[in-house]
Amino acid sequence: MATPPPIRAPVGARLIAPSETDLSRCVRCGLCLQHCPTYLATGLETESPRGRLYLMRALAEGVAQPTANAVGHLDQCLQCRNCEAVCPSGVPYGRVMEAARAQVLAGGRAPLSWRLRALFLRQVIARPGRLALVAAALRLYRACGLRAVAERIPVLRDRVLFAPTVAGRPFRRTGVIARPQGAVQRRVALLTGCIMPLAYGRVHEATARVLALNGCEVTAPAEQVCCGALHAHNGDRETAAALARRNVDAFLAAGADAVVVNSAGCGAAMKEYGALLAEEPDYAEKARRLAETVRDVHEFLADLPFAPPASGPELTVTYQDSCHLAHAQGIAGAPRLILAAIPGLRLLEMAHADRCCGSAGVYSLTQPQMSLRLLDEKMREIAATGAAVIATANPGCMSQLEAGARRHGLRVRVAHAVELLDEAYRDSGAGV
């Protein structure tokens, strides 16, 4: 990397407090309530989208102060945006929550935990070298058997469960990473991201093969950085904007027809680059232009449309919607379309597939209790389907569901939906 990414850069005032227009859109009809995992778990209005919007409005107006209690309610929010997807009034809840968190952080009265979290995200997640060190430690933790021991010790079990799984070969390739056998029909650039290449390199490999098999030349621009989603979610919009700028430059330079993202959270964040950088004269237009080319990998494949595989292994699969795919990007049909196209695969829908599993970025680490509660419910619903494979669309969800399977002693495999498509292609003898 030629120059290290600027760690912080100022952003417009609009981004560090929810706008009045956004806040006043909520008419308190309550249709969000039954879609909010934390409201369903607690029954408390304070842990509901409507309640949080009202609280954020009070914070913005100075009616309420960011006390530990008030900030705690913002903290309990998964930012799964299920509420946003069902809101008849169109409240941009994700945007409001990010801005409210930014406001608290900027106000200087944020709790220590928030400041430490922001520091970690800025100094580790956004720095590939440091992140690789953490990943190496996690890899060792699992490989040496320490994890298996720790997860068996009752007092430790719940605390260590959410340490991300890092296994398999990391993905380090850049430049053109896959070419079709025949003529190039599309040129796409792949966001490799921060954690994905370290924890789930195999998903990138599968993605590249699947895209190539469908006539795409796949590039991984070397200058790309972390998408900044986690930073934005946690109120550090300055870092998010800085990362966004670097990605805008990197991906526009790649000149691809589309930016393909196989991580739901990252895809959602990149689609919102236009809004994030809207007040920056140098970047507003570029960011908007780039954001228009961003596609989730399922969305992209479904639109092509992809070639249905000729055969596939006999499998029972249940699909867990990734929140930032289903709710933030509104894509629930495409992954199911892909799974349904695989011969031999039987899709068994779980109850509440579109309800958050409790992963939610760093949520499982910051709110382990609520996260566990949601995960336990999720695993019960998964077990009820009897499926052998859980397919999903985001690394955080994969890691969480793997942890859930270990915790519940469930013999299921967790896979990215694209991995299953890749396997079906290989099963049918198609190669790149």
Q: Residue 107 Cβ, how far from another protein at the closest point, in Å?
A: 14
Q: Residue 70 Cβ, how far from another protein at the closest point, in Å?
A: 4
Decide whether 59 or 401 has the Cβ nearer to another protein. 59
Decide whether 105 or 226 has the Cβ nearer to another protein. 105
Decide whether 35 or 416 has the Cβ nearer to another protein. 35
Q: Residue 237 Cβ, how far from another protein at the closest point, in Å?
A: 24
Query: By CB under 8 A, what part of segment 155-184 binds another protein?
Result: none
Quote the CA–CA distance of 104 and 124 in Å, as a whole number. 22
Decide whether 86 or 365 has the Cβ nearer to another protein. 86
Q: Residue 24 Cβ, how far from another protein at the closest point, in Å?
A: 4
Q: Does residue 166 contact residue 202 with C-beta atoms inside 8 Å?
A: no
Number of residues that bind another protein (CB under 8 A): 35
Quote the CA–CA distance of 136 and 134 in Å, as a whole number. 5
Q: Residue 30 Cβ, how far from another protein at the closest point, in Å?
A: 4
Decide whether 188 or 331 has the Cβ nearer to another protein. 331
Q: Does residue 187 contact residue 176 with C-beta atoms inside 8 Å?
A: no
Q: Nearest Cα to 37, choosing from 48, 50, 28, 45?
A: 48
Question: Binding string, 33-72, against another protein, x = CB under 8 A?
Answer: xx--------xxxx-x-xx--xx--x---xxxx-x-xx--
Decide whether 28 or 130 has the Cβ nearer to another protein. 28
Query: By CB under 8 A, what part of segment 1-30 binds another protein?
Result: 21, 24-30
Decide whether 87 or 203 has the Cβ nearer to another protein. 87
Q: Does residue 134 contact residue 121 with C-beta atoms inside 8 Å?
A: no
Is 208 buried (19+), middle (13-18) or exposed (0-12) by CB count in 10 A? buried
Q: Residue 361 Cβ, how far from another protein at the closest point, in Å?
A: 24
Decide whether 65 or 123 has the Cβ nearer to another protein. 65
319, β-bridge pairs: 391
Query: By CB under 8 A, what part of segment 76-105 binds another protein?
Result: 87-91
Per CB under 8 A, 154 contacts another protein: no
Peptide bond into 305 cis (omega under 30): yes
- Piece in contact with another protein (CB under 8 A), picked from 32-40, 103-111, 147-155, 233-241: 32-40
Q: Residue 68 Cβ, how far from another protein at the closest point, in Å?
A: 10
Decide whether 70 or 191 has the Cβ nearer to another protein. 70
Decide whether 33 or 365 has the Cβ nearer to another protein. 33
Note every long-range contact of 43-50, with CB atoms under 8 Å and residues 24 or more positions apart, other chains counting.
46/73, 47/73, 47/76, 47/77, 49/77, 49/83, 49/87, 49/91, 49/93, 50/26
Q: Residue 294 Cβ, how far from another protein at the closest point, in Å?
A: 22
Q: Residue 385 Cβ, how far from another protein at the closest point, in Å?
A: 18
Note the maximum CA span of the chain. 65
Record the tokens describing residue 424, joined without a space.
Answer: 């079906």
Q: What angle do CA 392, 414, 295 make, to 5 degrees?
A: 25
Q: Residue 32 Cβ, how far from another protein at the closest point, in Å?
A: 8
Q: Which residues bind another protein (CB under 8 A)?
A: 21, 24-34, 43-46, 48, 50-51, 54-55, 58, 62-65, 67, 69-70, 73, 87-91
